[in-house]
Amino acid sequence: MSITRKTSGIAAWWQALPLSLVFLLFFLVPLGLVAMVSFWDYNQYEMLPGFTLKNYVDVFSGCLSGGGEDMCVTFKTYLSTLKFCALVWALTLLIGFAVSYFLAFHVRSTGVQVVLFVICTIPFWTSNVIRMIAWVPLLGRNGLVNDALITMGLVNQPVEWLLFSSFSVVLAFVHLFTTFMIVPIFNSMMRIDRSLLEAASDCGASAWQTLWNVILPLTRTGIIIGSIFVITIVMGDFVTVGVMGGQQIASVGKIIQVQTSYLQFPLAAANAVILLAVVLGIIWALTRMVDIRKEL
């Protein structure tokens, strides 16, 4: 018996080895390199290997000295990123839950469910940049939305905040990433035993009571997984902020991109490590709400 267990244990290790190597080469090694570079020094021409905390001090130099302008910029940048993250998370959760609920409980035909679910994935068939640029002729000063508003007499002049603003950034984020919320929530809802809903109805529960006390708790795992997807993507995104914000709105990802363009790789690496720590903290808080490994 012990020999059999030992053999099966060795076989399991061999089966996990390829994925472990992939995880090591494409995740741990690059992450370790970024962390290492964050402690290097640099000048206008090159990186200087060594060990220094200068980059981390520069990131929060205004905060450490107190009351400086840099402190305001750094603090507002992280707050701006968290603001976008919270807004996009709330909107994608609301839309994703509603769409998933409709597909799972109101569409009876499996074939129709599949067709509608595939329609939800259609945006992934094109590039993110193309989907963002598609909003420009709609929301621009002379775009279709402004033309319609002026034609209907709702406004006298074009609405400026529709494009290259926080509104357009959040709109693009929701458009791009709602599917990341729909998929795990829909998967969780499809695994709910329908007899539980019948039991709740037989006990006199209303539709809202069933939703709140039965469906929502049983969909918690999908909500957490979708939240992790959306939050991690939005926190590090810089392309959407740059395109839809007209290069006028700051985010941590945008700052890192600008620093790398100026060859300030150690400083960008330090910002990336801090951003990673913030994201990991958020993920840790989310995973405390449910044991994902147990629920999956």
Closest CA to 197 of 217, 211, 182, 180: 211
**Domain total of the chain:** 1
Output the pLDDT for position 62: 67
Rounded to an integer, the average pLDDT of 159-176 is 89
**Per the domain annotation, does 64 fall within a domain?**
no
What pLDDT, in 10s, does the model give residues 265-290? 999 999 999 999 999 999 999 888 87
- Mean pLDDT of the residues in the chain: 84
What pLDDT, in 10s, does the model give residues 110-158? 888 888 888 888 777 777 788 888 888 888 888 888 888 888 888 888 8
Task: Provide CB contacts within 8 A for 146, sequence distance 6+.
Answer: 139, 140, 155, 158, 159, 162
What pLDDT, in 10s, does the model give residues 13-47? 777 788 889 888 888 899 999 999 999 988 877 88
Output the pLDDT for position 70: 45
**Per the domain annotation, does 257 fall within a domain?**
yes
**Per the domain annotation, does 284 fall within a domain?**
yes
Where does 102-238 have alpha helices with state H?
Answer: 110-120, 128-133, 136-139, 144-151, 166-190, 194-202, 207-210, 216-218, 220-236
**Per the domain annotation, does 11 fall within a domain?**
no
**Per the domain annotation, does 137 fall within a domain?**
yes
**Per the domain annotation, does 33 fall within a domain?**
no
Closest CA to 133 of 239, 251, 236, 230: 239
**Per the domain annotation, does 79 fall within a domain?**
yes
Domain that holds residue 274: 75-295
Handedness of CA 36, 38, 40, 46 (dihedral sign): positive
Task: Provide CB contacts within 8 A for 249, sequence distance 6+.
Answer: 80, 165, 166, 169, 241
* CATH number of the domain enclosing 117: 1.10.3720.10
**Per the domain annotation, does 42 fall within a domain?**
no
Model pTM?
0.85
